[in-house]
Structure 1
Amino acid sequence: MANDTPPTGNRTTSVNLVRSSNPWTSANSAAGFVLRYLIVVRKQLIAVLGSSERADECLKILIAHLVSVGFGEHKKGRLRDFLIRAIRTTAKARISDLTVSERPTTDIDSVLSDNEQWLSLWRTGLLERAWRSLERKEHIDPQRPLFSVLHCATTKPKQPGQSLRERLKSERGVELGEADIQSLLPVARASFAQLLADEVAETLEKPTKEDVKAELKTLGLTKAFDGMSI
């Protein structure tokens, strides 16, 4: 599945940056909400600890804590900030149990929320969730293959020179005429952008339009909204 941000076309489409009313701070289950981003957190822990086994041990500690006490007094601001603090805390706890020779050389305190590696992982995680949401929409309404059209239009083809129509048929089993493809593309781009905006908004405490815009800029996700009315 593609991790890149699909560029928009020339047609102007509206996207509501604060459509979602489900910020992470209002989640009924802290552990359940964080599970959405478990892969991202695990990758950062592996980078810090140098071991998938140690990363998984930290994840167990984190999830157990969230099940027991929820987000606690840290239920504010951005979810990615909360999670990077949790990564530092659990990593330090795990490292303290290791011998000096076993300990990684990474400076845990330098792993901050604006760390390039963490921002890249977080960005990719948000994009992957938006792609999966778009794919689910297609499963619900297969007559409008938005995911298939956008995915084939924005990822590298397996066979150079293959037309989008041919690619849709060979890779996705979708048969569409050129006019239908061109009609669906802007709809697919707008749907993806809206789903991405929803994902970002839900990781903020009390998201406003300006807050979401700022987070999209920080994460390098603004390309998905080019040509959109927001």
Structure 2
Amino acid sequence: MDRDDPTRIRDIATRWSLIRKAHAGDDTSATSARHALVDRYCGAAWRYLLAVTGNEQIAEELFQELALRMLRGDLRHADSSKGRFRDYLKTVLVNLVRDHYRKRPDGESSQALSDALASKDVSAAIDGEGEFVDCWRDELLQKTWTALDESSATLAAVLRAHVENEELTAAEKGRIVQGMLDSPFTANRYRVMLHRARDKFAKLLIDEVAATLDSPTEEELRQELRTLRLLKYCQPKT
């Protein structure tokens, strides 16, 4: 990755450090860290639960249970030496779904849930890696867009104009950005700012992914980006 600085990557506060802080006690700092965990992972968790259940009511019920467990400190058993946090979180979510499908005492609902669990689509979604990876990837991209918005409204507008209107010329995209920002935007300025926007997005995305790992090497980070199909966003455009 030509855009990343190994020293900067080592200095990123990892989600594992947040997890350890969240389970270091019951003081205000730990409580705040637990709330931060919920905020950090709610998007990916919700996407996954809705995808595998196909039911907003069930997904909401399971999501609330996950949030309760996080705030209660039940993720204290997560161990960075045993792998990536996303793998641990997926295991927690899979167990939530399976428990929900198996423990409903009411006959008709229990049968309906059993039938759903036995269905090919639901079983494949639960057992397979792809569904969760897609949800995790989508959430990382969303968080990167949010970070870009917060970092520079101009760069965010330029990049959005590009990805949403790839067929247009630089001059036409410049006019779109001009309308969004109410500021003059020539074709040349658009080209320069697009390069900067891509570079900033790549750095923010690398930061987001690096923060989900525990002190990753450059190769470990590259492999995670490759697994999540995000590496293309972090390579220079010709």
TM-score, structure 1 normalization:
0.80
Q: Which has the larger radius of gyration?
A: 2
Q: Distance in 1 between matches of 2:220 and 2:2?
A: 21
TM-score, structure 2 normalization:
0.77
1:111 counterpart residue number: 126
Q: Distance in 2 between matches of 1:176 and 1:209?
A: 37
One-letter amino acid of the structure 2 residue matched with residue 100 of structure 1: Q
Q: 2:53 aligns with which of 49, 53, 57?
A: 49
Q: Evaluate the alpha carbon distance shift between residue 160 and residue 206 of structure 1 in structure 2; reply closer, same or farther with a 3 A threshold.
A: closer
Aligned residue for 1:227, secondary structure, equals: coil
Deviation at 1:135, TM superposition (A): 0.5
Q: Distance in 1 between matches of 2:113 and 2:65?
A: 20
One-letter amino acid of the structure 1 residue matched with residue 17 of structure 2: S
Deviation at 1:73, TM superposition (A): 1.7
1:196 counterpart residue number: 205
Q: Distance in 2 between matches of 1:92 and 1:189?
A: 41
Q: Distance in 2 between matches of 1:30 and 1:137?
A: 25
Structure 1 residue runs without a partner (length 5+): 1-11, 140-144
2:28 counterpart residue number: none
Q: 1:16 aligns with which of 5, 22, 25?
A: 5
Structure 2 residue runs without a partner (length 5+): 22-32
Deviation at 1:20, TM superposition (A): 5.0
Structure in which a larger fraction of residues adopt helix: 2
Q: Decide whether the 8 Å contact of 1:23 with 1:201 is kept in 2.
A: yes
1:183 counterpart residue number: 192
Deviation at 1:50, TM superposition (A): 2.6
Q: Evaluate the alpha carbon distance shift between residue 20 and residue 147 of structure 1 in structure 2; reply closer, same or farther with a 3 A threshold.
A: farther
Q: Evaluate the alpha carbon distance shift between residue 20 and residue 111 of structure 1 in structure 2; reply closer, same or farther with a 3 A threshold.
A: farther
Q: Evaluate the alpha carbon distance shift between residue 108 and residue 80 of structure 1 in structure 2; reply closer, same or farther with a 3 A threshold.
A: farther
Matches for 1:149-188 after TM superposition, within 5 Å: 149-156=158-165, 163-188=172-197
Q: Decide whether the 8 Å contact of 2:209 with 2:225 is kept in 1.
A: yes
Q: Evaluate the alpha carbon distance shift between residue 179 and residue 50 of structure 1 in structure 2; reply closer, same or farther with a 3 A threshold.
A: closer
Q: 1:125 aligns with which of 139, 142, 153?
A: 139
One-letter amino acid of the structure 1 residue matched with residue 16 of structure 2: T
Q: 1:94 aligns with which of 84, 95, 100?
A: 100
Matches for 1:139-154 after TM superposition, within 5 Å: 139=153, 145-154=154-163
Identity %: 23
Matches for 1:212-227 after TM superposition, within 5 Å: 212-227=221-236
Q: Decide whether the 8 Å contact of 1:88 with 1:108 is kept in 2.
A: no
